[in-house]
Amino acid sequence: MAKNSDKLSDSVVVIGLGRFGGAVAQSLTQLGHDVLAIDQDERLVQEWSSRLAHVVQANTTSVEVLTQLSCRQFPHAVVAIGSDIEASVLTVLALADLGVPDIWAKAVSARHGRILERTGAHHVVYPEASMGERVAHLVTGKMIDFIEFDDGYAIAKTRAPREIAGKTLAESALRSHHGVTIVGVKRPRTDFTYARPETMVEPGDILIVAGPTRLVETFAGRT
């Protein structure tokens, strides 16, 4: 593993190489981060060692094992163990005992998530529930893409409603009429541009819209 301080500040230990952990480890590697991946399953370790630089077979539920693997030096850890809740909780506890400053953990239920938070996870993610919710918004609405933040605020990619085509964003006054803000505009075969008051919206344009979730959904429904 890289030992200079810049690199180390980006290093991540990923524990559990199931579908979620494997995807996290692979994406982090593609983004240029140093990743130490750990799984107790020898077959998975073999499989991933051709794609990841550092893959180790170990049971991560004890402080001793994590210490031997120098996990204390990592600023970030992702615990991607799902169905074995005991192993997930004990691993988070061991990382917290070691003082790892940024622990992310995957939960399979709200109850599991609450235990992880109490045990020392700084961020708990619910991949299945989050993706299910996102797909529901996309299936039932007219949005092309959609991200909702915890506080009921969302950003969506949607087609421009007919009523604003042929007007500038200043003329459409979307913030006062619809409570949403256009962040970017994309015309077919061009890149996204930042939205400005004088930006003209044409039929067929794709918009990036931000605002309270309900208002973003209502706006997208007008296309």
Binding region for ligand ATP (CB under 6 A): 15-21, 38-41, 44, 59-61, 80-84, 87
98 Cβ partners below 8 Å, 6+ apart?
63, 66, 67, 71, 72
Residue 137: how many CB atoms within 10 A of its CB?
A: 19
Measured from the CB of residue 64, what is the shortest distance to ligand ATP in angstroms? Answer: 13
Measured from the CB of residue 37, what is the shortest distance to ligand ATP in angstroms? Answer: 10
Closer Cβ to ligand ATP, 66 or 180, answer by number: 66
Q: Which residues of 158-184 are buried (b: 16+ CB within 10 A; e: fewer)?
A: bbbbeebeeeebeebebeeebebbbeb
Please state whether beta strands 181-186 and 193-194 pair in parallel, antiparallel, or not at all (unpaired): antiparallel
Please answer whether residues 87 and 81 qualify as being in contact, where contact means their C-beta atoms are separated by less than 8 angstroms: yes
Measured from the CB of residue 45, what is the shortest distance to ligand ATP in angstroms? Answer: 9
Residue number closest to ligand ATP, CB atom = 82
Which residue in the block uniquely carries the two structure tokens 């931000």? 210
Measured from the CB of residue 16, what is the shortest distance to ligand ATP in angstroms? Answer: 3
Closer Cβ to ligand ATP, 19 or 196, answer by number: 19
Closer Cβ to ligand ATP, 14 or 185, answer by number: 14
Measured from the CB of residue 57, what is the shortest distance to ligand ATP in angstroms? Answer: 8
Measured from the CB of residue 79, what is the shortest distance to ligand ATP in angstroms? Answer: 9
Please answer whether residues 223 and 161 qualify as being in contact, where contact means their C-beta atoms are separated by less than 8 angstroms: yes
96 Cβ partners below 8 Å, 6+ apart?
103, 119, 120, 121
Q: Helix (H, G, I), strand (E, B), or coil: what is residue 148? A: strand
Closer Cβ to ligand ATP, 77 or 182, answer by number: 77
Closer Cβ to ligand ATP, 11 or 40, answer by number: 40
Closer Cβ to ligand ATP, 42 or 150, answer by number: 42
